[in-house]
Amino acid sequence: MALNRKIAYINLTTGEIETKPIPISMRKKFLGGRGLDMYLMYNHVKPGVDPLGPDNVAFVSAGILVSTLASATARTHIGGKSPLTGYVGSANMGGFFAPEMRWAGFDHLVIKGKAEKPVYLWIHNGEIEIRDAKNIWGKTVHETQQIVREELGDREIKILTIGPAGEKLVRFANVMTGVKDAGGRSGMGALLGSKNLKCIACRGTMDIKIAHPQEALDYNKTFITQITSAKVSQTQGKIGTPFIWGSTNSWGGIRTNNFQYNQLEYSDDIEAESLDEVNIGMAGCFGCQVHCRARYIIPDGPYKGVYDEGPEYTAQGAFCGEPGCTKRNTLLVCNHLANIYGMDLLEVGSLTAWAMELYEKGILTDKDTDGLELRFGNDEAMIEMCHRIARREGLGDILAEGGLRAAKKIGKDSIKYLIHVKGMSNLHSDERGTPSLALGIATGSRGSDHLRSRPAVDLYHLPEPVLRKIYSTPVAYDGPLTSDYKDYEGKPWQVFWHETCYEAVDCLGICKYHTTFLAATGPNFEEWSRVLYYNTGLEMSPVDIWTVAERAYNMERLFNLREGLTRKDDWLNDRYFDEPTTRGIPAVQGRTIDREKFAKMIGEYYEHHGWDENGVPTPETLKRLGIDKEPSHVL
């Protein structure tokens, strides 16, 4: 059955491995993936532990629908206390690892302790081994996967791994799989590195029985049509996510030169059309019909002939928008370096751009940079900083600690120019003209984020009746809604709704591009209820799934509060409020976020969650969600 995959507890210190089934009661409360991981994290990570110490715990999981007949169910979730922020660490990636882990018999891995020397896990058809990793320690993401497949004699093995950045405990190191699928944000690669765990290799041939196979197949056809008929999906399938760059940059929604401008000029070379010239074909994740991942070969320069995948929209912003670089080759090379080193490209680009502003303001000098001219638009400097951060060399060693620690080390009022939320660098986007998006990044449970609560459809000027239809399901909402993205009214509900939607997506194991993220017509709770039943036999209404997501998100909030989070952490850098935008279309020029209105939005957002004025879940909310007795240690 699709529900009979197990949970494994792996102690790297002692070598002990225990496996057990996951009770149906826990499935109904948290489903799987991110939701159950958040329960496990609150129950297994002791308060106040050092994120890079042996007492932190790493969680690796598959969503409950992964590898079934449901479309685009490929997502792997990795969790633990974040080495970057000290709060919730959580990363999600596509590819083929999670399906293979389910075929190998497991849905969740709880990894404790620290190995005495580098090791990797070998998981195959219900068995788990801890193996010596000395021959792959120090290898890149791509090299590691090749060596392990050769060592185990099977090219079909799927591997989740860290790169050199994770080994060196770069606090925003990624966990990677395949060529470029990245569990980015919050430093889960550093967490695995701190445990001396290089990678997890999986191979499985254990069948997953579908509860109602014919109904699942028939309904999935409808599901696929709904997804692939959306224009955004059709565009992604041709040129990938870089198409978003052109529209966002043209109206002035890009954070440029750190945060000094909101539009990158003379950037034709990094537009989707230019990238398409080096595109050698599109690829997709398990069970996906969109195929949004471009494949490319670097056309010239020192890396000529190197193959990689991407770059995504976020790479355009991180390596071009933020540092003010406009060359296609810079984008392709930096994307490749982030992939092989295993680093969060948003942090690399953001922190380098921050360092560039500090350099131009004289806060950093040539002595600090070892002679590297860290000026905006210096493509060579951007590429060089990718190496220095990953290798922890010079200034790169300081930046590898993350923005808040780096600002404390640098001093000289440098924190004023650090654009972050909860210690995580902001996105490459500029939200001063879009209050809903600003609220989403300020309140994100893992820090500034576009994959936790971003109401992207707010930018579409959808008529109010259409918005009402989206935001009144599966729970009723009769409050204000407006199609004006500059307005503050109704936006807290939109953020709360998307937050709950994306939590549900991560519990199910579905890609966010297959829901109401960029496509207003995408599937959500109503469709998921039927897909879940046809594939697993689990009967849950749309409201039940909504409640699961609410419950899981409140577990994240409880964890953060326990680790010291307060209302003041759900806030933005002063520059959002004090420095107006200078570029873009007239509607966004001269825009700032209004402090008073923003504080009111946060209060309304808390009310939607059932939290008090300090952002603490009320006893009534915890009791309603059935988590008033946590930690319960059921699993």
What is the structure's pLDDT at 159?
A: 98
pLDDT digits (tens, 9 = 90+) for 410-457: 999 999 999 999 999 999 999 999 999 999 999 999 999 889 999 999
* Mean pLDDT along residues 72-81: 96
**Residue carrying the six token digits 């207003």:** 520
- CA proximity to 201, closest of 110, 125, 313: 125
What is the structure's pLDDT at 517?
A: 87
pLDDT band at 589 (very low <50, low <70, confident <90, very high): very high
pLDDT band at 225 (very low <50, low <70, confident <90, very high): confident
What is the structure's pLDDT at 502?
A: 97
pLDDT band at 518 (very low <50, low <70, confident <90, very high): confident
What does the alpha-carbon distance between residue 322 and residue 262 come to, in Å, rounded to a whole number?
Answer: 9
What is the structure's pLDDT at 521?
A: 85
pLDDT digits (tens, 9 = 90+) for 29-39: 999 999 999 99
pLDDT digits (tens, 9 = 90+) for 385-412: 999 999 999 999 999 999 999 999 999 9
What is the structure's pLDDT at 480?
A: 96
pLDDT digits (tens, 9 = 90+) for 151-171: 999 999 999 999 999 999 999
Give start and end residues of each alpha helix (H) in 511-626.
525-536, 542-562, 575-578, 595-609, 619-625
Domains (range + CATH), the chain: 6-203 (3.60.9.10), 230-363+370-379 (1.10.569.10), 435-625 (1.10.599.10)
What is the structure's pLDDT at 519?
A: 85
Pairing relationship of beta strands 197-203 and 424-425 according to DSSP bridges: unpaired
Complete edge-to-edge strand list for the sheet that includes strand 158-161: 127-132, 119-124, 197-203, 158-161, 175-177, 181-183
What is the structure's pLDDT at 479?
A: 96
pLDDT digits (tens, 9 = 90+) for 536-557: 999 999 999 999 999 999 999 9
* Mean pLDDT along residues 109-114: 98
Give the orientation angle of helix 33-44 with respect to helix 542-562, to 10 degrees: 30
Tell me what percent of the residues of the chain surpass a pLDDT of 70: 100
What is the structure's pLDDT at 228?
A: 86
- CA proximity to 187, closest of 348, 382, 397: 348
136, pLDDT greater than 70 = yes
74, pLDDT greater than 90 = yes
Strand partners, 445: 447
* Mean pLDDT along residues 213-236: 89
> Which residues lie closer than 8 Å to 467 by C-beta, 6 or more apart?
481, 482, 483
**More reliable by pLDDT, 90 or 240:** 90
CB 83 within 8 A of CB 185: no
What is the structure's pLDDT at 226?
A: 85
* Mean pLDDT along residues 265-285: 95
What is the structure's pLDDT at 230?
A: 84
What is the structure's pLDDT at 505?
A: 97
- CA proximity to 66, closest of 94, 39, 41: 94
What does the alpha-carbon distance between residue 239 and residue 156 come to, in Å, rounded to a whole number?
Answer: 27
* Mean pLDDT along residues 314-343: 98
pLDDT band at 89 (very low <50, low <70, confident <90, very high): very high
Write down the mean pLDDT value for the chain: 96
Element (H, E) at 101: helix 97-103
Most distant pair of Cα atoms in the chain: their distance: 68
pLDDT band at 116 (very low <50, low <70, confident <90, very high): very high
CB 22 within 8 A of CB 107: yes
Strand partners, 447: 445
Phi, psi of 342 (to 5 degrees): 75, 65
pLDDT digits (tens, 9 = 90+) for 299-308: 999 999 999 9
Give the alpha-carbon dihedral of 77, 517, 330, 405, to 10 degrees. Answer: -60
What is the structure's pLDDT at 1?
A: 65
What is the structure's pLDDT at 577?
A: 98
